């Protein structure tokens, strides 16, 4: 057995790589035909009085070889790594590159917070298509062809012709969903519709060609302007706290009567810089348009404007995000610069 041990250990020392020690393992410790396995089987054939001693010695030998095998295996593994670090381009001592965790885009975060604010006031969420029909985006909200109000929204049209002319566009606002929601539901309605809109827009600090809006619509008996103002006040308080100043201006949109805009005080110049790129010297940053749904739209839905009234609003989510974090230029949002995005 001593001879066997020496022979086996010498063989193991000569095995210089993984295939070689595997071959050694099969030769010596292999379960079927390994030499030690055979030796253990031979215990039975020994004379009665030598059997116990033979068996014990054979087991000891097996254990010694198993331990030697594991040691050699580890030795080879380590020297293979060391060899790599000196002979190849792979430097195994370099620390790993940390995987940075992603997060939600600041506009998405703001969108979700806005949705939550309205959901808490009883609005449910609906959706509508980004590629929209002209008749929903414009005609359905009282902006027929050749009406000058179409110029308020510089439209990106889809080139496909329907009945010989372009009738599809990238929606310029979420307002077509006022009509879509009324088409498929009955009052009382309290709904918000979030989503992307597109305009052929010369970009500046507060204008992008892709923007995100949340449309709001409430239709019921007895809804009044004070309800609209209350909802918008509550929304502004939730998003900006009670310290920020809010102002309502009169405004014009063909689908509401009367129409208003809501603005917040300019966080950049506080109204003190006539050349401020964010508020243009007005001291106010507009975040939404709103008003009482035009009676004609309520009638077109078949509800009857003698009985039902409603309010609608369209909020610019990028503007809300600008205001809540004091960001000076809307174009940062879609420039894909991680140094900017990772701050939120
Ligand atoms: C509208 O889009 C109307 N549909 C809003 C409305 C809805 C009025 C319901 C009445 C009733 P306006 O074009 O003003 O209106 O846009 C609404 C808001 O979207 C603006 O207050 C602003 O916050 C945001 N917005 C508009 N254009 C841009 C732009 N180019 N980039 C970023 N935000 C914009």
Q: Whose CA is nearest to atom 32 of ligand 1?
A: 207
Cβ–ligand 1 contact at 199 (below 6 Å):
yes
Is the CB–ligand 1 distance for residue 253 below 6 Å?
yes
291 lines ligand 1 (CB under 6 A): yes
For residues 237, 241, 244, 246, the Cα torsion angle rounded to the nearest 10 degrees is 0
Tell me what the mean pLDDT of segment 172-182 comes to. Answer: 98
Pocket flag, ligand 1, residue 289 (CB < 6 Å): yes
Query: Are the beta carbons of 256 and 293 closer than 8 angstroms?
Result: yes
CB hemisphere CA count around 79 (13 angstroms): 9
Q: How confident is the model at residue 277 (pLDDT cuts 50, 70, 90)?
A: confident
| pLDDT at residue 143, as a whole number | 94
Q: Determine the distance separating the centroid of ligand 1 and the alpha carbon of 317, expressed in angstroms.
A: 9
The mean predicted confidence, pLDDT, of the chain is: 93
Strands 156-157 and 161-162, sheet pairing: unpaired
Among protein residues, the one whose CA lies closest to atom 31 of ligand 1? 207
- Compute the residue count for the chain: 344
How far is Cα 86 from Cα 84, in angstroms, rounded to an integer?
A: 6
Q: Compare 153 and 122 and report the one with higher pLDDT.
A: 122
Angstrom distance (rounded) from CA 128 to CA 172: 13
Would you place residue 80 in the very low, low, confident or very high pLDDT band (cuts 50, 70, 90)?
A: confident
Each residue's pLDDT tens digit, 3-47: 999 999 999 999 998 899 999 999 999 998 999 999 999 999 999
Q: How far apart are CA 220 and CA 16, in angstroms?
A: 86
Position 82 scores a pLDDT of 82
A 10 A CB-CB count for 84 gives 13
Per-residue pLDDT, 169: 96
Buried b (16+ CB within 10 A) or exposed e, 209-246: ebbbbbbbbbbbeebeeebbbebbeebbeebbeeeeeb
Is residue 10 part of the annotated active site? The answer reads no
CA–CA separation, 228 vs 256, rounded Å? 12
Which of 153, 180, 208, 314 is the pocket-test mutation for ligand 1 (most atoms within 8 Å of CB)?
Answer: 314
CB-based contact 111:214 (threshold 8 Å): yes
Q: Which atom of ligand 1 is nearest to the CA of 261?
A: 21
Strand runs labelled E in 124-170: 124-125, 131-133, 156-157, 161-162, 165-166, 168-170
**Cβ–Cβ under 8 Å, residues 65 and 36:** yes
CA distance 199 to 152: 10
Which whole number is the average pLDDT over 126-135?
A: 97
Residue 228 C-beta-side C-alpha neighbours within 13 Å = 30
Residue 325 falls in the annotated catalytic set: no
Helical axes 106-119 vs 317-325, angle rounded to 10°? 100
Cα 219 to middle of ligand 1, angstroms = 21
- Indicate if the pLDDT at residue 92 is higher than 80: no
Catalytic residue (one of 256, 263, 320, 321): 256
How far is ligand 1, taken at its centre, from the CA of residue 108, in Å?
Answer: 18
* pLDDT recorded at residue 339: 93
Query: Can you give the pTM of this predicted structure?
Result: 0.74
């Amino acid at each position: 057995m001593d001879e066997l041990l020496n022979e086996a250990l010498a063989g193991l020392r000569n095995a210089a790589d993984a295939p070689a020690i595997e071959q050694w393992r099969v030769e010596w410790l292999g379960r079927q035909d390994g030499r030690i396995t055979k030796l253990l089987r031979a215990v039975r054939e020994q004379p009665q009085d030598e059997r116990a001693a033979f068996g014990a010695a054979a087991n000891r030998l097996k254990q010694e070889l198993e331990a030697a095998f594991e040691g050699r295996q580890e030795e080879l593994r380590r020297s293979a790594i060391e060899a790599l670090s000196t002979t190849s381009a792979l430097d195994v001592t370099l620390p790993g590159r940390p995987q940075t965790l992603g997060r939600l885009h600041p506009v998405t975060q703001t969108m979700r917070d806005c949705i939550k604010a309205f959901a808490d006031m009883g609005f449910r969420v609906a959706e509508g298509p980004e590629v929209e029909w002209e008749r929903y985006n414009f005609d359905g909200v009282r902006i027929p062809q050749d009406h000058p109000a179409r110029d308020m929204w510089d439209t990106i049209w889809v080139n496909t012709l329907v009945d010989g002319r372009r009738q599809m566009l990238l929606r310029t606002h979420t307002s077509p969903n006022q009509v879509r929601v009324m088409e498929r539901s009955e009052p009382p309605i309290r709904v918000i519709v979030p989503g992307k809109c597109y305009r052929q827009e010369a970009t500046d600090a507060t204008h992008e060609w892709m923007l995100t809006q949340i449309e709001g619509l409430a239709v019921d008996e007895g809804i009044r302007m004070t309800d609209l103002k209350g909802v918008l006040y509550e929304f502004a308080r939730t998003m900006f706290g009670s310290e920020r100043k809010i102002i309502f201006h009169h405004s014009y949109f063909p689908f509401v009567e009367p129409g208003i805009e809501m603005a917040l005080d300019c966080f950049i110049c506080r109204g003190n810089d006539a050349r401020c790129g964010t508020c243009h010297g007005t001291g106010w940053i507009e975040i939404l348009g709103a008003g009482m749904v035009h009676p004609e739209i309520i009638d077109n839905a078949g509800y009857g404007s003698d009985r039902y009234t409603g309010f609608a609003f369209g909020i610019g989510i990028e503007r809300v995000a600008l205001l809540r974090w004091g960001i000076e230029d809307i174009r940062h949002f879609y420039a894909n610069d991680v140094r900017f995005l990772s701050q939120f």
